[in-house]
Chain A
Amino acid sequence: MSHARPRVDAMKSARPGPTRTAPPRPPDGFPGARASAVGAVPPGREKLRSYLAFGFGGFFLMSVSLLVLRAVWALGNGEAAWSRVQASLQNPIYVIFHALAFVWLSWFVLRLFRLFPATQPRRIGPLRRPPDAVLVGGLSAAFVGVTLALAAILSGALG
């Protein structure tokens, strides 16, 4: 059976040994990797797909940042400019975009919060790191709180 797979250039030695070697293969689930002998989707492939999708989600972050910059620019250019920005945000395309951006942001923060405890040292200053559940719960509660507060402000219920 042929074992043709895309090559990667990983983990080669700076001083090649005397033995001829086969080139490294990418991890299973990498784009372009062949299907496994045990099924079309080997275990782990879904995780790499979600990782790649997560990376692609940076598109939303960049786009939302540009929109925020545009809003800030409008604020500095008078009420008419600000009104134009507000009117443009009523466009269904913007509404759909923001709905997608919100879904992605929620996914992003939940993934980040789940991984967050491992990124903290065992001692933070003189204190021991709180239990993982406390960190994840605290961050999640803060995210929900800030989201609800922003939604209330933007909808006019507050302020």
Chain B
Amino acid sequence: MAETQTKTIVVTRFDPDRDEAPRQQRYEVPVEPDWKILDALNYIKDEVDPTLSHRWSCRMAVCGSCGMNVNGEPKLTCKDPVTGYGDVIEVAPLANFPVIRDLVTEMEGFMERLQKVKPFILRAKELAVEAGPTRQSPAELDDYRQFSMCINCMLCYAACPVVANEPDFLGPAAIALGHRYNLDTRDQGQGERNEIFRDDGGIFSCSFANECSRVCPKHVDPAGAIQQAKLRNVIDWVTGLVRRREEGVR
């Protein structure tokens, strides 16, 4: 049986009431071989330093709360084993997000971006209840299912160089979510969403670094969603031009 091993966890700390800027603090932690990074942080919180603040909930890579930068890589800490690292592990808050305290980042900017893409079914006319359920085939579900697996962990935002450069960029998760609804056969809001997509900070800000898809713990592939959205928007734009011209001729 593998033995307990002592590792140094370097944690970024920030107290908004006392600290001018974030600083780093080292903790020696006796880690068990089956621990995840989150277990090490919880050990620090419970046994060493109760002032440490970090966000977590489900411990099973479903809630998306415990995203942090581990050795510079955005990771879900409840899914990331300590055995994958050396003797020193650096844990920092997610990059590209303002930090509220220690490892806790502010999510408000992210929520605003999610709302912008109208992440719900939009209908030109609501269906009457008497009409019964709107049916969807397994193949139609399969078209968007991958993009509906996002758990809003924000790792993609922490990895994206465009997010760092363009404050108005909608970002990977929001665009993937909007694209998910655009692919849904029950939805009729593609026109509205595509206008938002084509606006400043929309899909054409993405330069396809692919970092978002690389770090996504649920294999949503937001970079793929953005490129697909680009293609659909270009086709829509061109067909719109042709249609307008034809109407002009008539």
Does chain A bind chain B? Answer: yes
Note all chain A residues with C-beta closer than 8 A to B207: 55
Contact yes or no, A121 B228, CB < 8 A: yes
Task: Looking at the assembled complex, report how far the CB atom of B162 sits from the nearest CB atom of chain A, in whole angstroms.
Answer: 9
Note all chain A residues with C-beta closer than 8 A to B214: 47
A25 at the interface (CB under 8 A from B): yes
Note all chain A residues with C-beta closer than 8 A to B227: 115, 118-119
Q: List 21 A-B contacts (CB under 8 A).
A: A1-B23, A3-B12, A8-B165, A11-B106, A11-B110, A11-B157, A19-B16, A21-B16, A21-B106, A22-B16, A23-B99, A24-B98, A27-B159, A36-B71, A37-B90, A38-B86, A115-B208, A118-B227, A119-B228, A121-B228, A122-B143
| Size bin of chain A's contact surface | 35 or more
Interface positions of B (Cβ within 8 A of A)? 10, 12, 14, 16-17, 19, 21-24, 69, 71-74, 85-86, 88-90, 92-93, 95-101, 106, 108-110, 112, 139, 142-143, 157-161, 163-165, 167, 171, 183, 207-211, 213-214, 221, 223-224, 227-228, 231
Note all chain B residues with C-beta closer than 8 A to A2: 21, 23
Note all chain A residues with C-beta closer than 8 A to B171: 11
Interface positions of A (Cβ within 8 A of B)? 1-4, 8-15, 17, 19-30, 36-38, 42-45, 47-48, 51, 55, 115, 118-123
Contact yes or no, B24 A37, CB < 8 A: yes
Note all chain A residues with C-beta closer than 8 A to B112: 13-14
- With A11-B96, A27-B159, A119-B227 given, is the CB distance from A47 to B211 under 8 Å? yes
Contact yes or no, A19 B228, CB < 8 A: no
Seed contacts A1-B24, A42-B73, A48-B211; 6 additional CB < 8 Å A-B pairs: A11-B163, A26-B164, A27-B72, A27-B160, A37-B88, A115-B227
